Every structure is written in structure tokens, then in C-alpha cells.
Structure 1
Amino acid sequence: MYNWDEDPDLNITPLIDVMLVLMAIFMITIPVMQYQEQIELPEGSQSLKVSEQKVLTVEIDRELNIHYNSEVYTLDSFPDAFRLKTGEMDKSKAVYINADKEIAYENVIYLLKVVKQSGFSKASLLTL
């Protein structure tokens, strides 16, 4: 019969020796290895392009008066007047809507709807 050892011990000394040798090799070779990549940066233009695109600002106050281009409109007269004033304008301009914080939310949404229906795709709400 074979006499098997019931409680075998692991001998990890050779494994530690191999790992120490590999670590020494890596510590010596890693600082010697260098990788260099050549990068070609794009050249910038010498002229600056100035944006001529201005923004439109529509303001509504506590009394629900709408101010646009230093003119005052009511909620009823604003949609038609805004469409007439902006009919020939570039519709890619940004439109900022500035509203008093005490007016009802539905009035701000009404202004936003009028601006969108007039063909402007960039409408933003200003906060103060």
C-alpha cells in the first residue's frame, strides 16, 4: 500500500524565486524602454472670423407687457407684430426670452410657442 501524506504542504519557495527574478528583470528593462510618437499639430488660421449673428431678446414684465426692439406689445398683439418684424430675418438666429419671475409659467410658454411658430429654431429662456 502507498503511504500518502494526509496533510500535504505547498512548497512556494521556487515560485517566489521565479517572481523575484522576473521583477528584477522588469525593473531593469522598463526604464530603458521609451516610446516616442511624432505628432503633427494643425496650423491655426491667421485671421479671426467675427460672428455677425446677433441674438433677439423678448422680455415680458409683471404687467404682461412684451418688450421687443424697444417697442411694447400686449399678449394679444405680440404674435402678429413679431411675425411681421421678423418675416425677412434669418431664422437661425437665437431668440432669448426674458421673463419676470412673478408671472405665470403659461405666459412664458406662450411666448416660446409664438417664437417657435414664427420659424425660429433656437429659442432659450433667460434666468436672472
Structure 2
Amino acid sequence: MENSSFNWDDNPDLNITPLVDIMLVLLAILMVTVPTINYKEDITLAKGSKTQKVLDESIIEIRIDKKKNIYIKDSIYSYTNFTDNFNLFANKYDKDTEVRIRADEGIVYGDVIFVLKTIKEAGFLKASLITNG
């Protein structure tokens, strides 16, 4: 009994296009859903030492108005005597204290740089200029 439809010499052609299509769809679904998966890990953090919290007093804020008056906390200093006064003021603070400078936009750039240079010469390493932008 010989089957006429079966031939041992035939090479079957595999069509893998549907397989590739299904894999691409699964890949797209995976790429969309993975960012939304949240992993929750239970972590017990170490207890920190009981030290004082850093207060805003650790930041020195210097303000310069249009008339070159320089304000530090509740004190007002003149521009011409600022270097000496700031050196006396700076002795009370740690040199790692952050210093922020706010200057009126009408002030000449060189005057602000003079104040910044005075702060750096007093030994403060963390000085920055504050802007509105």
C-alpha cells in the first residue's frame, strides 16, 4: 500500500513569519509593561547617631542693595569697610559654612566679584550667587 500523496524526496519549507510576528508582539508588550512594575524590598536602615540637625543658621546669606549696602543677618556694612568687617564676622563661623550672595541687578559685576573674593579670602569654600532664574 503506497500512499501517493507522500513523497520522501520533498523538502518541507518552514514559514517562520508568524513565529517572528508573535515574538515581536510579545517583546512590545514586555517593553511596555516592565517600566510599570514596582519592586518592593524591605530594608531596615541603620540608626544614625544622635547629632544636632543642620539648621538654616549654618547658611550665611549676604544681600547687596543698589546703594552698595551689604546686609548680613541683622547687620548692615558699608561697601568700603566690608573686607575688615567680614573678616571679624567670619571668625564666629566654621569655614565649611555655605555662603550665599544676593545682589541687586543694578550692581556692577565687579562689585559682586569683590564681595565674592572677600568671602573666599576669609576661607569660605562654599560660596554661591543666588539669582531669580
TM-score normalized by the length of structure 1: 0.64
Q: Which runs of 5+ in 2 are unaligned?
A: 1-10, 27-40
Aligned to 1:13: 13
Distance in 2 separating the partners of 1:16 and 1:70 = 80
Aligned to 1:41: 43
* 1:108 aligned counterpart, secondary structure: helix
Q: Deviations over 1:58-82 (max 9, x none)?
A: 1110011111232222222001110
Cα distance change on mapping 1:88 and 1:100 into 2, 3 Å: same
Distance in 2 separating the partners of 1:44 and 1:51 = 20
Correspondence 1:69 to 2:73? yes
Match of 2:114 among 95, 110, 116: 110
Among all aligned residue pairs of Structure 1 and Structure 2, give the percentage whose two residues are the same amino acid: 31
Cα distance change on mapping 1:88 and 1:12 into 2, 3 Å: farther
Displacement of 1:48: 8.5
Greater helix proportion: 2
Displacement of 1:100: 0.5
Displacement of 1:112: 0.7
Correspondence 1:92 to 2:96? yes
Cα distance change on mapping 1:94 and 1:12 into 2, 3 Å: farther
- Number of residue pairs matched by the alignment: 104
* 2:88 aligned counterpart, secondary structure: helix
TM-score normalized by the length of structure 2: 0.62
* Amino acid in the other structure paired with 2:53: V
